[in-house]
Structure 1
């Protein structure tokens, strides 16, 4: 009998050990450590490494050459080893912001094993940390009423496939009968319907601005702008296909042509205010491009338009009717007097010149718009800023 009990106990212990094996993978060092003065220390235990660096958007930028041109990218800093632990502390306090970083060990880029918080941007997976204060407090989960973020499938008759949206409904939506305005928020090239809720902190920004009385309660619909895809990588019938920028049906008219399918689904499914004055559209980079062309293609659909670091003109190979008669369509759109046409970009953005040229065209035509310029380039730091600036101006 004792042998049976002992055997059962050993089996139980073994089962618990297997089930709880993650408990024993404790972080070997503290990293990142945010100090009281907002300097930050990064550490990595790697006694056999010859060289360790940290790279991230908290460091001075450097030029990086890509197939799409030259961009400002994150810089690098060397860590110093003591007893097998490599360490680097920022020489200056960091400004409030959500930051990302990775380590480079003997030329191999790795994530920080001491930091479980990571985020994916197209094919890059980086660790993240947040320095609070100022605008960055809008990126936190604060003690305020929270909205709901849902992953919702809809059918697009125009594209002939089922596709997925990320939808934010404000706090109290489920309990009430009120109808809400809708903001359609679009991502950039290589992104997907998860980008704004994960990288952009859209739900936290909306929760906090609404709680502070700075924004109207609204529904936010975050689409997948890659018209050939059902959903984000790893979350569709394609399985664990590798994310890529080289996708068909992105900026050749398919997404713009099919966009009424999204609006019709949202109006049929949610308690929306179903009119132009209660609809906004905005997005970053490719999403700004889509917002520009969708809003002029359907001039009675959106009263608020936001172009965040937007691509402007279509490629010469894009032959869709969506892009025909640009000036005539803009004339119709602005004759209908949109409540807000908002353009924002960083002064070091590779699309800065294109935006200047587009603004010059609007100026010559006498079309009113609001312009907002920041420093730096084509980065999520700017796009989160633009979201916090744009949202309070909607539906007033």
Structure 2
């Protein structure tokens, strides 16, 4: 999950602006601790209790280092070099709670930070940092029974390849040899891949904690890559996206494979599909095109449904739509109200003080999961 770098000792994350490494920001608390996602033994990047991030990079031969804002690389925090070859800097302000992508720009070249783990986003492996959230307990690693996340390789005749999926099976799956489970097909966002929901989203920990608390019915989650070809991020890239190739992979190849190799209830009444951002767009199109395959729909910052789009309303047991409060919350609220007025079971959820980011989607999964597969 890493790229090669220079001789670098550690790093941190950003908001826009240049911060003098030696200055004391007004009101800044000096209680910095290593970030949750740091590599073993690495002290930087660091985060304090206010959400500021601090970087320290050793690069004696470099002239300049800037830490990007995250996805897209806009803006950044410029680090200042000392006599020992260390570049240091602190963000000018606190960052939003939750997960952020970032990278280093060193003398014009883009590198990942060897001080922290890397995560697939922006169609490349990016460094990641976690700003602790006030409500992080629901996705924390706890001493509870844990499910299993395993990689499977399934044959895809439509693409002429073997494709990969990650499958979460809940605690007790391996012991209860006769039990069968519903399935949620959960899709990632644009520029990410099938690793995102567990690595960035902590979907497995969210489920483990909900199950341990008795708040959700145990079910299987399947996560696979939502593209059938290599893609590049760019203005207008999604305009050329066609759902049919991936729809074939999902509906004709992956679902039959999962039903044949895992103990599932192999019917639409026990099957859900949801996705964040682009994964929501995929969910929207595939569920409408295949009303017999799914009874539960979830769009997480991924658009909305209208009652006119749904031809057989009797087959849809739940439509869940969510977004961050800094996105377009009125859109999901109004769409849910319209669906309810048409006699459908629809729920809207707005994540407070978040935007198009993983804290929104972690909270969304936490809200949605207890609602799945509980309706006869």
Q: Same fold (TM over 0.5)?
A: yes
Q: Pick from 307, 317, 324 the counterpart of residue 346 of structure 1.
A: 324
- Is 1:330 the counterpart of 2:331 in the alignment? no
Q: CA offsets per residue over residues 118-164 of structure 1, 9 Å max, x none? A: 11214343222334454334444333222211111223456665432
Q: CA contact under 8 A between 2:216 and 2:369: conserved in structure 1? A: yes
Query: Which ranges in structure 1 are unaligned for 5 or more consecutive residues?
Result: 1-24, 65-72, 230-241, 314-325
In structure 2, the partner of 1:220 is 221
In structure 2, the partner of 1:209 is 210
In structure 2, the partner of 1:42 is 55
Q: Pick from 220, 231, 247 the counterpart of residue 256 of structure 1.
A: 247
Q: How does 1:1-396 map to 2 (within 5 A)?
A: 27=9, 30-35=43-48, 39-57=52-70, 75-83=75-83, 84-90=85-91, 96-113=97-114, 115-132=115-132, 134-156=134-156, 161-177=161-177, 178-226=179-227, 228-229=228-229, 244-245=232-233, 250-261=241-252, 262-310=254-302, 330-332=310-312, 334-336=313-315, 338-346=316-324, 348-349=326-327, 362=339, 365=342, 367-374=344-351, 375-396=353-374
Q: CA contact under 8 A between 1:31 and 1:43: conserved in structure 2? A: yes
For residue 182 of structure 1, report the CA deviation from its aligned partner: 0.9
Query: Which ranges in structure 2 are unaligned for 5 or more consecutive residues?
Result: 1-6, 11-41
The higher radius of gyration belongs to 1
Distance of 1:371 and 1:110 partners within structure 2:
39
Q: CA contact under 8 A between 2:112 and 2:127: conserved in structure 1? A: yes
SS in 2 for 1:283: strand
Q: CA offsets per residue over residues 17-53 of structure 1, 9 Å max, x none? A: xxxxxxxx89478311234665432111234444332
Distance of 2:88 and 2:249 partners within structure 1:
51
Distance of 1:393 and 1:360 partners within structure 2:
17
Q: CA contact under 8 A between 2:182 and 2:271: conserved in structure 1? A: yes
Distance of 2:190 and 2:133 partners within structure 1:
30
Distance 1:154 1:191, change over 3 A: same
Distance of 2:123 and 2:184 partners within structure 1:
27
Count of equivalent residues: 331
Distance of 2:123 and 2:116 partners within structure 1:
18
For residue 186 of structure 1, report the CA deviation from its aligned partner: 1.3
For residue 299 of structure 1, report the CA deviation from its aligned partner: 2.3
In structure 2, the partner of 1:69 is none
Q: CA contact under 8 A between 2:180 and 2:264: conserved in structure 1? A: yes
SS in 2 for 1:264: helix
Distance of 2:231 and 2:139 partners within structure 1:
26
Q: CA contact under 8 A between 2:271 and 2:295: conserved in structure 1? A: yes
- Where is the helix percentage greater, Structure 1 or Structure 2? 1
Q: CA contact under 8 A between 1:249 and 1:255: conserved in structure 2? A: no
TM-score by length of 2: 0.73
SS in 1 for 2:265: coil
Q: CA offsets per residue over residues 170-191 of structure 1, 9 Å max, x none? A: 1221122221111110123333
Distance 1:250 1:272, change over 3 A: farther
Q: CA contact under 8 A between 1:225 and 1:250: conserved in structure 2? A: no
Distance of 2:95 and 2:215 partners within structure 1:
27
Q: Root-mean-square deviation (CA), in Å?
A: 3.7
TM-score by length of 1: 0.70
